[in-house]
């Protein structure tokens, strides 16, 4: 179930590359570690490795019991165990009392896991219900974490493929040629524009709101009142003499 870490059969090397820091994939760990290989998913802490091996054993047992052959073998092993227990009697060979049904279970039997639990390492939560297809994860967090790791490993394998690397090299070359051509065309257009004769400047534009046609005269253009004796300076009849 789990991926083999740091083995001789893994040919993907990280020599000369920067892998950076990663987060342990096992649920409940959350440690940050410096990756040494491209396919390294988990940290190398002893506690984390024990929990990971326990989850892998439970997952193998679940898959083995899911098939008819696995159920038949498990039933046969249980019958043989009951026969050995009955023949041994109430006490064991060491003289200690044999465990009864009331004694607490040990090992994997002590942990009651769901019949079908999540596929993320370290997660024992039951898978969520799905009407379209059988679900593999308990929620979106576990599914997103697994998809992120698989996408990273898929990209790593594609980079190490000689055919893919050659194709990427050709794409980079074509892109660089196009960029160089655009730069040369831009330089040529700049040179041609600088060597061309200067264009005549456009005519000056005057403000249309203050032309001579609309210029106002400051002289008083009001017509004087002819009947006003003070405003009309023309000669007028003399007043009769006083008696």
pTM of the model: 0.52
pLDDT on residue 9 = 44
- Decide: 104 and 110 in contact? Cβ < 8 Å: yes
Is 70 exceeded by the pLDDT of residue 207? Answer: no
**Cβ neighbours of residue 39 closer than 8 Å, sequence gap 6 or more:** 3, 5, 10, 12, 153, 156
Is 60 exceeded by the pLDDT of residue 215? Answer: no
Is 90 exceeded by the pLDDT of residue 165? Answer: no
Q: Please write the tens of the pLDDT for every residue from 2-60.
A: 455 544 444 444 554 567 899 999 999 989 999 988 889 999 899 999 999 999 999 98
What's the mean pLDDT in 203-223? Answer: 54
Q: Please write the tens of the pLDDT for every residue from 32-46.
A: 999 988 889 999 899
The backbone region for 122, taken as left when phi is positive above 0, alpha when psi lies in -120 to 50, beta otherwise, is left
């Amino acid at each position: 179930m789990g991926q083999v870490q740091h083995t001789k059969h893994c040919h993907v090397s990280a020599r000369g590359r920067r892998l950076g820091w990663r987060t342990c994939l096992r649920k409940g760990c959350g440690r940050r570690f410096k990756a040494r290989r491209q396919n390294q998913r988990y940290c190398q802490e002893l506690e984390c490795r024990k929990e990971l091996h326990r989850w892998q054993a439970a997952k193998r047992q679940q898959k083995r019991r899911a098939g008819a052959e696995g159920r038949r073998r498990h039933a046969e092993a249980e019958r043989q165990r009951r026969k050995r227990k009955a023949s041994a009697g109430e006490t064991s060979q060491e003289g200690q009392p044999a465990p009864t049904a009331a004694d607490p279970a040990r090992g994997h039997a002590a942990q009651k896991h769901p019949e079908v639990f999540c596929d993320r390492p370290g997660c024992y939560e039951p898978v969520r219900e799905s009407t379209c297809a059988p679900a593999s994860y308990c929620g979106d967090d576990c599914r997103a974490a697994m998809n992120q790791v698989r996408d990273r490993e898929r990209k790593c394998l594609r980079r190490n493929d000689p055919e893919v690397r050659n194709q990427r090299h050709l794409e980079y070359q074509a892109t660089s040629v196009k960029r160089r051509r655009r730069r040369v065309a831009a330089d040529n257009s700049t040179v041609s524009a600088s060597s061309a004769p200067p264009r005549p400047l456009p005519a000056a534009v005057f403000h249309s709101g203050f032309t001579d046609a609309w210029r106002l005269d400051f002289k008083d253009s009001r017509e004087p009142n002819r009947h006003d004796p003070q405003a009309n300076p023309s000669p007028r009849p003399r007043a009769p003499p006083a008696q």
